[in-house]
């Protein structure tokens, strides 16, 4: 199956790409790599949650938010790469997690993004990753995800 067919089989569709809130673009292609700006977990233009993650009870919600942000990042990549099926490999994922100083489950939250990418792309979805704790993120979002993907014929 192609990535777009796999996405559909998961009951998912790519959302509209969020409009930038500054002088930048959501994604761009340089050579055979597509880079995204940090993507938030918007659903129909709204954040489903706000504020930092603080305890074990927040991990599942955070992982779901990371999954949503990764889906938004895929939409941004697809918009500049000629569609989702132009993605050949997910190279790198950075997941920023707004969290209190004692929260140490950033990798578990980041798994939400990684699991989605593995489900959509299989082996080509395996990537290097950083899970970074931050005191706050834009618009008080709990998570932000940035991707680098190999695209095109290479």
Give mean pLDDT in consecutive 10-residue pieces for the chain, a chain of 154 residues. 96 94 95 97 95 95 98 98 97 98 97 98 98 97 98 72
Q: Which two structure tokens, joined as six digits, stand for 81?
A: 């790469």
Q: How far, in Å, are 9, 55, 83, 87, 111 from residue 4 at the CA level?
A: 9, 35, 8, 10, 21
95 forms bridges with which residues in the sheet? 131, 145
Domain range annotation of the chain? 3-12+27-151
Note the pLDDT of residue 154: 45
User: Between β-strands 87-98 and 128-134, what pairing exists: parallel, antiparallel or unpaired?
Assistant: parallel
Calculated CA dihedral for residues 32, 23, 17, 41, nearest 10 degrees? 100
Tell me how far apart the alpha carbons of residues 136 and 38 are, in angstroms, rounded to a whole number.
14
| Verdict on whether the full-model pTM lies above 0.85 | yes
Query: 118: part of which helix (H) or strand (E)?
Result: helix 106-121
Taking the C-alpha atoms of residue 138 and residue 13, their distance in angstroms, rounded to an integer, is 25
CB 80 within 8 A of CB 29: yes
Dist CA 72 CA 77 (whole Å): 9
For the domain made up of 3-12+27-151, give the CATH fold.
60s Ribosomal Protein L30; Chain: A; (3.30.1330)
Confidence at residue 153, expressed as pLDDT on a 0 to 100 scale: 59
| pLDDT value, residue 68 | 98
């Amino acid at each position: 199956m192609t990535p777009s067919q796999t996405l559909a089989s998961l009951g998912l569709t790519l959302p509209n790409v969020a409009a930038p809130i500054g002088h930048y673009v959501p994604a761009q292609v340089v050579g055979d790599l597509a880079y995204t700006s940090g993507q938030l977990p918007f659903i129909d233009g709204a954040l489903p949650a706000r504020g930092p993650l603080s305890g074990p009870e927040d991990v599942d919600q955070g992982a779901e938010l990371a999954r949503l942000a990764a889906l938004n990042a895929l939409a941004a990549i697809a918009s500049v790469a000629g569609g989702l099926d132009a993605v050949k490999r997910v190279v790198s994922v950075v997941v920023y997690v707004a969290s209190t100083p004692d929260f140490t489950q950033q990798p578990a939250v980041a798994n939400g993004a990684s699991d989605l990418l593995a489900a959509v792309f299989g082996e080509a979805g395996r990537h290097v990753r950083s899970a970074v704790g931050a005191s706050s993120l834009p618009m008080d979002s709990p998570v932000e995800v940035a991707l680098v993907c190999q695209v095109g014929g290479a």
